[in-house]
Structure 1
């Protein structure tokens, strides 16, 4: 026992030179949602990070024990404000607890929340019983620079064969833009290899708007064998944006070797608690959630997998967070995390992922996995992709003539995204217009199409996703409706009345003049 106490004390003292706190373990959730990570800040102070306790008992206290379990006799300690009353409610809070005078952490083997009346532990941790859990992460290789065609984003290495482009933008106005890896930044054309896009094709790249994109390089190749990444036009030897990799890269190791291409499963649909993020299948055992948000204000929110299509209902499979902790989730603010499935299970066994409260059977947010029948089509040139997580849905086209249809979203105050747009193109003068009233009548604001052209009538569209930008000096909040309109005969082919308030739209960070097509195509 003396040897154990000495080693713990030595560990705490040894870390102080480099790290203000030493990880002691994670609280096991036994009752009342108790959870949190426990650290030794110094010999006399415990730091509990993301502490959760529902407070639904009048007899919960912090205690220390000299044994590996919380058994009498116990040492009761005050809470973070020095009170020795029963604990209140805690929702993902970071707190510091001072030990009783004359005591050190090395005097004890465990800590927890304990009910004195019922002699029951609500949650506990045995110090250093388990090693600190491995938290998988990505490595940033840099941000895209030297850009044209509005290329931007940050490049991450997930493992030696997998890249993440985070917040990727590209206007799609090139007949031969492609993703490439290169060996020499001064000779990209002569030393580059094309990478398939996220759909597994080497087609010319389409429009991307604030997208998180995962790319898989060819079998037998490694990212560390290359010196950089670029969006490149091989036909005209033009660099649209690149990043030179750091000279010394430590590429993370993947969970296992896999020939499977990562798949975008969809965005998390927020029902409550500010849930959001983009969900990817890395392999049959691993999920990546980029930009994950959750307010942590529930004592029972957990990651669960559901086996029922289109609904989150029990029985569900609880899975751990990025630390493998199955207790209540802490607060997340735009985090990128890897979540692993339980042993013996595969993503193919499930239909969706949810942040779920089992206590009240509430789905805080979810994504239902695409089926084999939902495979994406091959994208033609100028098909657009956009992250709709922060977009405002304005409504769907009311079809009046020429098969006009589609869903209309506002990406910001000067940008529209039309999802699944259709129009038969048989009118010589059909154009996009904005109206300041709910009646589609003059005066109207004529908009350019996705190519930046407004002189000619619209061509045929069949279930196409497109981005439309407003004219310079205009903003969506000045208008009430969008229509496909024929000025020659004053005919409304189809329109959408903006059903939501536009006053809160984010301001565009891009110069709208720069999107006008100048006729130059690379």
Structure 2
């Protein structure tokens, strides 16, 4: 016959009680550890993502860097898309967080579970204080001096005080960091326009070494667009930000910046174009699948 312990007035000896609690705690840690993290201060459990994000930038918007993936939402409405700008810089697009956590920080670390073995990353203003609320904001943050993303596996909005993960993205360590790319030189068609190989410095900036143009056309401009050079293209300001017809150049190295929000991912060519007579003096094709750094303008960062 099954003996049933009486519920009325039933008490465990204190030592037995603590032993049972320890057994339960150890079972949770050892059995559910790969899937849950146990809070050190309030025994709350928070689910940790076990999935790595896609390594391909094609899953995100390459204008903002190498796409690490979307933040998984667990608490306090945390969401957003996370990009690696370089080995020390992260950009988070459309960041949301209600600001109600008691001690929430940007947090990075190694391993398969977000926790106190990681370290804090200052916010977009360089502060180590509790995070404010964000509503669809885009922020750029930098890892502490001497730290890089190499070897890390996650980024999180994390409450250190209660060991609770509000939202995270996991990624592999072999990040293909964006970097400047040397492409072709301008192909010469008229007016002695030529250059050495052009460098795409970032998503909006070209460095044109040894640029020459005889200055004899009535209204030549730097010009970009889709397809082949045509009147449907767009003027690009000169190296001084001017929009007047180009003057003569003799082997000068210049830097030009695409206007507004146009990036190298939106265009197929860079040209020197005569607007009045619709004549292409020189051009080069913009390669597909570039992986160059985002511009400061795209990140919303003021030049230093």
TM-score range, shorter chain: 0.3 to 0.5
- Which structure has the highest strand share of the two? 1
**TM-score, normalisation: structure 1:** 0.28
Higher relative CO (Cα under 8 Å, sequence separation at least 6) belongs to 2
**TM-score, normalisation: structure 2:** 0.45
